[in-house]
Amino acid sequence: MRRVIATTATVGLMLVAGWVIASPALAQVPDDGDDPGAGLTPFEAILIYGVVPLALFALIALLVLAPSIARGPRYRPGLGWFAAPVWFGGPSNPDTALSRARSLPAGVGTEGGGASARW
């Protein structure tokens, strides 16, 4: 019984709301669209629908590309490297470590570990 009452009340309210919205009495209220006013000149139309979107596109493209432009050139494969060498996590004196490594026979290390898992 509750479902029937709820369904009837809902349908009734929807019908009343539809009748109120579509009633001819509301057609007498003046609308803002009744007086269209002056139209756009061709210059204004081109400005609004052409120049403004292009300017927004250019602004967004500039904001997207600005970080990479500010960063400068980046390394390209096949070209020479232009930055100073950096050894992350290496010994405190890399020149000594390199000269010592060059003096050892190939495959011999002074420390354990590496790919062979000899720690």
For residue 30, the model assigns a pLDDT of 60
115: confidence class by pLDDT, cuts 50, 70, 90: low
Q: Where are the domains of the chain?
A: 42-70
117, pLDDT greater than 70: no
Give pLDDT tens digits for 13-62. Answer: 777 776 566 666 555 666 666 666 788 898 999 999 999 999 999 999 99
Give pLDDT tens digits for 61-107. Answer: 999 999 888 887 777 778 777 777 777 877 777 777 777 766 666 55
For residue 79, the model assigns a pLDDT of 77
For residue 101, the model assigns a pLDDT of 65
Q: Residues 18-57, buried b or exposed e (16+ Cβ, 10 A)?
A: eeeeeeeeeeeeeeeeeeeeeeeeeeeeeeeeeeeeeeee
Is 119 within 8 Å of 113 (Cβ atoms)?
Answer: yes
**Which residues make Cβ contacts (< 8 Å) with residue 87, sequence separation at least 6?**
94
